[in-house]
Amino acid sequence: AQSVSQHNHHVILSEAASLELGCNYSYGGTVNLFWYVQYPGQHLQLLLKYFSGDPLVKGIKGFEAEFIKSKFSFNLRKPSVQWSDTAEYFCAVKGRRYGGSQGNLIFGKGTKLSVKP
Amino acid sequence: NAGVMQNPRHLVRRRGQEARLRCSPMKGHSHVYWYRQLPEEGLKFMVYLQKENIIDESGMPKERFSAEFPKEGPSILRIQQVVRGDSAAYFCASSPFRDRVVLSDTEAFFGQGTRLTVV
């Protein structure tokens, strides 16, 4: 069965600090990987996604993530955070299937990021 | 192109009542997912539906919960005889149907959620 682990429950940073949020997944086959962000009181929005190709993926708002297949990891990074990045971040995995229905999206428990001005 | 629409945004029910949560997918999307977000627990998959068809309901509680996605109209998540533990945010997501060869290369678009409070 697929599962996703996000190592940090709550991360507190000062503005301009660098960010790395860990995400590990378990799945026996090929996966698509996603990071979603949920700003306070809002719905989930896609930050970035990896389907294939270059394992270093660039998303919106200066975020990037690197897929390391050997480590089953897809960590999210940002060189310099801003106060407006305060939100909850979710890593998600979808197993790729061929010739059948789509797999469902499995989420990690989320990491709350608080950025102090 | 309107996004995924969920209503109501907030729903208050007394214990024992029924809750009906609606989700209208994005135009052209024929796949709907329901997720529940409990405090400190992140998002949990509940059910995945296509029009008139439940594909995967492995995350649905065995009792009191049901979901449908009729040919016409929104998807409905129905919770009968609600209890306090059902209080949560319920999110719906939709994604398009593409070719049958590679069906996972699509992202899901989320609605703003329905916050259910059981009093």
Q: Do A107 and B45 touch (CB under 8 A)?
A: yes
Average pLDDT, integer, range A6-21: 94
DSSP structure string for B2-14: ---EEE-SEEEE-
A57-61, B40-44, B90-94, range with the lowest pLDDT: B40-44
Confidence of residue A19 (pLDDT cuts 50, 70, 90): very high
At A103 the pLDDT is: 59
Q: Which of A105, A107, A109 to mutate to test the interface with B (most CBs of B within 10 A)?
A: A105
Phi/psi for B76 (5° steps) reads -120, 130
B103: left (phi over 0), alpha (psi -120 to 50) or beta: alpha
At A94 the pLDDT is: 81
Average pLDDT, integer, range A13-31: 91
Average pLDDT, integer, range B82-99: 85
Put simply, the chain B residues between 56 and 95 with a CB less than 8 A from any chain A CB are 56, 91, 93, 95
At A18 the pLDDT is: 97
Q: Do A102 and B31 touch (CB under 8 A)?
A: yes
Average pLDDT, integer, range B107-112: 81
Average pLDDT, integer, range B32-50: 85
- For residue B89, the chain A residue with the least C-alpha distance is A43
Please report, to the nearest 10 degrees, the dihedral formed by the alpha carbons of residues B98, B7, A34, B59 taken in order: -90
Whether the per-residue pLDDT at A100 is higher than 50: the answer is: no
Helix (H) and strand (E) counts in chain A: 0, 12
- For residue B6, the chain A residue with the least C-alpha distance is A43
At A112 the pLDDT is: 94
A32 inside 8 A of chain B by CB? yes
